[in-house]
């Protein structure tokens, strides 16, 4: 009896040559590092050097997170990845009433340039690559990072890293949006233009399917809706007067990696192939780098369990292996205790060691695209590609990603998938070890890392001190200039940088833009 994949596609018990009847290797595969990039975006992939091991971290205060970053670097992390708390993600200061109870809980609290200085204190920004998981206020955090680099004497053209900056998926699956879609897209176009001139090595967006997958999207839905968002961003930048080859090489993507190894490998390969075709055929990109789908991967937090949490070590190792076999450019491996609380130092180190074992103790780095020509993987790659294209065509028929979002299409499709997964888990058809099978009568006690609730008061004190010390007239003048730019067509990042340099807070800058652009109110109609 055939099983179904996570995308609802049949998986046959045996695959043979007939599975690839009429299949053209030149069209479907090509060579590694060449169009259509099915086999990877670089000719040598990991045979020259492994993927970037980038551990996602951030909690409490900037001081605490800075200490964790230094530990990760000492343990062999090759790139930093910053988690911000919910108020920062939503553009609110820590002392705002709406931030009560959330300061420092799911990431680090950053209210101003003062906090950013502490966060990266003693970390040479010309030596590390930093990814920041921030969306609606991405421009603010990037500019503060640039300002800290300037204070360290690091020129902006030496800064490397990524801002997630993918607001469309917030409307679909995550919810940390601020402004309506149109001004949000305008802000993203401004970021593209600013970085082309000012921070040329920075990856200006990480178009994310990860959060859709965490909300329940199947692999086919994940890449379909992510690539549809990517198309919307490219159209926005082109409509703003940019040449596609001026910004497309700095686009990057962010996907999940589940425990279903074969379909995940197929998903990554299919995504590269679809994107290369879109960029070549729809947008006429000439630079080969514009056709490359480069991506970061995070193992699947949604698949981690609070029951028997040590089993998550096995899940994460399997998920990490799937990402590597699929050709990821960088990887974050979750800590085994993340279903319970923020990772401890030990669990974060174990997560990194998992990647290091994959890179240095296995042979998966010895050859490029080990599954190339596999009957099952090539067939699944074709099937996932076809399913994703079908969904992308539905989005196009609605007028593109933004119009589809406003109709609730992607959200509705993902919720259907999530409901199917929940039913299968509840019935026992989908086995989750330790949850609906192989349970323990009593769970062993585990002491999680807890964030000190006093952090909220400490951040409020820092803000009060900042407001008392700074030149308020300079802040007010800078915010006026920011609003003028937002009302017109000037790039908002230049006056925004001036405001942040004058020590305007995240909340003040976002509130100035809220006054001009308004805020987004979601619709559930479909």
Q: How many CB atoms lie within 10 A of CB 76?
A: 14
pLDDT band at 456 (very low <50, low <70, confident <90, very high): very high
Check residue 341 and give its pLDDT. Answer: 87
Taken in order 218, 341, 124, 150, is the CA torsion positive or negative? positive
Between helix 472-487 and helix 493-501 the angle, nearest 10°, is 170
Q: Following CA atoms 132, 135, 140, 144 in sequence, which dihedral angle do they give, to the nearest 10 degrees?
A: 0
> How many C-beta atoms surround the C-beta of residue 510 within 10 A?
21
How much of the chain is in helix, strand and coil states, percent to nearest 5? 50, 10, 40
Q: How many residues does the chain have?
A: 526
Tokens of 252: 């990057």
pLDDT at 526: 41
Which pair of structure tokens corresponds to residue 51? Answer: 């993927």
Residue 86: the pLDDT is: 97
Q: Are 448 and 340 in contact (CB under 8 A)?
A: yes
Give me the pLDDT at residue 418, please.
96
If we measure between CA atoms, which residue out of 380, 400, 406, 373 comes closest to residue 220? 380
Check residue 78 and give its pLDDT.
78
Mean pLDDT, residues 36-59 taken together = 95
| Res. 223: pLDDT tops 80 | yes
Mean predicted lDDT score pLDDT of the chain: 95
Helix ranges (DSSP H) in 199-310: 210-214, 219-239, 244-247, 261-281, 288-291
Which conformational region is residue 213 in: left (phi greater than 0), alpha (psi within -120 to 50 degrees), or beta?
Answer: alpha
Cα separation, 330 vs 256, whole angstroms? 12
Cα 221 from Cα 8, distance rounded (Å): 11
Which of these, 192, 78, 56, lies nearest to 134 by C-alpha position? 56
pLDDT value at residue 446: 81
Segment 384-395 shows an average pLDDT of: 98
Tell me, yes or no, if the pTM score tops 0.85.
yes
Hey, CA dihedral for 521, 186, 411, 399, is it positive or negative? positive
Give pLDDT tens digits for 57-97.
Answer: 888 999 999 999 999 999 998 789 999 999 999 999 999 99
pLDDT tens profile 464-508: 999 999 999 999 999 999 999 999 999 999 999 999 999 999 999
Token pair listed for 70 = 């230094």
Proportion of the chain above pLDDT 90, given as a percent = 92
The reported pLDDT for the residue numbered 342 is 84
Report the pLDDT value the prediction gives residue 525, as an integer from 0 to 100.
44
Q: Which residue has the tokens 């699929």?
A: 326
């Amino acid at each position: 009896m055939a099983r179904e994949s996570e995308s609802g596609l049949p998986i046959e018990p045996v695959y043979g040559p007939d599975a690839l009847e009429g299949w053209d290797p030149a069209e479907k595969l090509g060579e590694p590092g060449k169009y259509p990039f099915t086999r990877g975006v670089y000719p040598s992939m990991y045979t020259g050097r492994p993927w970037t091991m980038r551990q996602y971290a951030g909690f409490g205060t900037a001081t605490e997170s800075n200490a964790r970053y230094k530990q990760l670097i000492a343990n062999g992390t090759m790139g930093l990845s910053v988690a911000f708390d919910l108020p920062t993600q939503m553009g609110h200061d820590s002392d705002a009433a709406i931030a009560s109870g959330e300061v420092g809980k799911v990431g680090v609290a950053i209210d101003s340039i003062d906090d950013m200085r502490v966060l990266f204190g003693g970390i040479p920004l010309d030596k590390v690559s930093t990814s920041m998981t921030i969306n609606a206020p991405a421009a603010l955090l990037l500019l503060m990072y640039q300002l800290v680099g300037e204070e360290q004497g690091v020129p902006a053209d030496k800064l490397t890293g990524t801002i997630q900056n993918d607001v469309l998926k917030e409307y679909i699956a995550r919810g940390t949006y601020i402004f309506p879609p149109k001004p949000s897209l305008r802000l993203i176009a401004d970021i593209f233009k600013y970085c082309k001139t000012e921070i040329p090595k920075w990856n200006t967006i990480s178009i994310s399917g990860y959060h859709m997958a965490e909300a329940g999207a199947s692999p086919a839905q994940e890449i379909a809706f992510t690539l549809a968002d990517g198309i919307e961003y490219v159209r926005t930048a082109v409509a703003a007067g940019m040449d596609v080859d001026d910004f497309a090489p700095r686009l990057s993507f962010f996907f999940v990696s589940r425990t279903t190894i074969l379909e995940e490998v197929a998903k990554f390969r299919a995504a590269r192939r679809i994107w290369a075709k879109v960029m070549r055929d729809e947008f006429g990109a000439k630079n080969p780098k514009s056709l490359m789908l480069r991506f970061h991967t995070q193992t699947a937090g949604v698949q981690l369990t609070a029951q028997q949490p040590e089993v998550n070590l096995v899940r994460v190792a399997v998920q990490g292996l799937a990402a590597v076999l699929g050709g990821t450019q960088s990887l974050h491996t979750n800590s085994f205790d993340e279903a319970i609380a923020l990772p401890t130092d030990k669990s974060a180190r174990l997560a990194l060691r998992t990647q290091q074992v994959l890179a240095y103790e296995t042979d998966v780095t010895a050859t490029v695209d080990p599954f190339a020509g596999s009957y099952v993987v090539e067939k699944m790659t074709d099937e996932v590609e076809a399913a994703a294209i079908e969904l992308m065509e539905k989005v196009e028929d609605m007028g593109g990603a933004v119009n589809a979002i406003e109709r609730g299409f992607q959200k509705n499709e993902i919720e259907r998938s999530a409901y199917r997964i929940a039913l299968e888990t509840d019935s026992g058809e989908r086995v989750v070890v330790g949850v609906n099978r192989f349970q323990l009568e009593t769970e062993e006690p585990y002491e999680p890392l807890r964030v000190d609730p006093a952090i909220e008061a400490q951040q409020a004190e820092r803000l009060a001190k900042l407001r008392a010390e700074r030149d308020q007239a300079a802040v007010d003048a800078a915010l006026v200039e920011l609003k003028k730019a937002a009302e017109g067509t000037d790039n908002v990042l230049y006056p925004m940088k001036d405001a942040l340099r004058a020590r305007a807070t995240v909340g003040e800058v976002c509130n100035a833009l809220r006054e001009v652009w308004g805020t987004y109110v979601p619709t559930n109609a479909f």
